[in-house]
Amino acid sequence: MNQSSSANEKKISSPDSSEVFDASPSKTYHEQAYIDQTLRLREILKTLPAFTKDYFRAVEPTTSARTRISYAYDIRVFFHFLMEVNPHYKNYTIDQFTVQDLERLDPVDIEEYQEYLKVYKNEEDRQITNTEKGLSRKMSALRSFYGYYFKRQIISKNPTLLVDMPKLHEKAIIRLDTDEIAMLLDYVEHGGENLTGQRLAYYEKTKNRDLAILTLLLGTGIRVSECVGLDVQDVDFKNNGIKVTRKGGNEMVVYFGEEVEHALKTYLYTTRKSTVPLSGHENALFLSTQRKRMGVQAVENMVKKYAREVTPNKKITPHKLRSTYGTALYKETGDIYLVADVLGHKDVNTTKKHYAAIDENRRRRAAGAVKLREV
């Protein structure tokens, strides 16, 4: 589908080549997201001590804008903790902190912060709780923050190194079984049979789009952020591949099979073709009912809506669909390196942990291996 009619206009042919889609030139989803995130980070940095800008400037080459935003929020929580809990900083304002304040703290202060993170109130007086994963992320952010100044000998001690990181307990991986995948897709295809009025109209308007998204996620394992970032011209039916932008900005072609091809073509040449996007969203593959590029939250809500009807006992998210694909691919191929490559994992050990270490069929056999009483 990557056919160009000129340097300024891209045309995407339909199967019989008698019709075309026009995709006007504009910033890509990822280019615009980077601009938005950069501006957002600058605003957050205005609410932090002035010296922190040096740290964020230094980590820019090795982190994504999204990661730096998360770190900025997490580090702001740390300074608010000091003003709220530590008697020495009770009368401080955020702009009064200097880099020397970091080395005035002891390991016990960091331990108190770790305890504080479990339940606290944010600036809007909302109660915030952190799970093991949330605690670990915030402590990692603080360690990275301290490490920058310690490594450059701006501070003489680093109390975060003397505090143990929160222990992360492994959780069972939730995924769809083979029959549940079929049930989910069937439900999207035929879910309107019992609907009437506005609900039926909405279903008919979104059915092909939703089926295309779910089939794509289940058939390629791409991330939801990669899915919403797709442009029409990223789809290549000649080779049955989609060009996705992975974490870190690397581009990669992910290939798909006939089921994904059929779902995408059905959407493209019906719903997508008949929708006129709003200005700035002309290239977006998946459009909302407001004719804008769909966002991550919208796809997450859509997946949850359908999954609740089919698997009410499983909390299914787009990431769980990714896990479903990874598990199925590993079972079919037994090639953990292929799974890691297709999913875009930088470290194959991450893939091994999630997909190769668990053999549920083997576990099921163990259930009947031990007899408690002779029959």
Q: Is residue 272 among the annotated active site residues?
A: no
| pLDDT of 373 above 70 | no
Q: Say what the pLDDT of residue 32 is.
A: 85
Catalytic residue among 68, 138, 345, 354: 345
CA 70/CA 91 separation, integer angstroms: 26
Catalytic residue among 30, 40, 143, 247: 247
Topology classification of domain 173-359: hpI Integrase; Chain A (1.10.443)
Is the overall model pTM greater than 0.75, yes or no? yes
Going by pLDDT thresholds of 50, 70 and 90, the confidence category of residue 12 is very low
| pLDDT of 3 above 70 | no
Q: Say what the pLDDT of residue 24 is.
A: 43
> How long is the chain?
375
pLDDT tens column, 117-170: 999 988 888 999 998 989 999 999 999 999 999 999 999 999 999 999 988 887
Catalytic residue among 143, 157, 319, 331: 319
CATH number for the region 47-162 comes to 1.10.150.130
CA 271/CA 264 separation, integer angstroms: 11
Q: Is residue 355 among the annotated active site residues?
A: yes
Catalytic residue among 120, 146, 149, 355: 355
Q: Is residue 223 among the annotated active site residues?
A: yes
CA 176/CA 314 separation, integer angstroms: 8
| pLDDT of 10 above 50 | no
> What are the domain boundaries of the chain?
47-162, 173-359
DSSP line for 166-182: PPPPP-PPP---HHHHH
CA 242/CA 257 separation, integer angstroms: 11
**47-162 against 173-359: fold identical:** no
Q: Is residue 247 among the annotated active site residues?
A: yes
pLDDT tens column, 193-214: 888 899 999 999 999 999 999 9
Catalytic residue among 80, 175, 272, 322: 322
Q: CA nearest 2: which of 239, 216, 261, 228?
A: 239
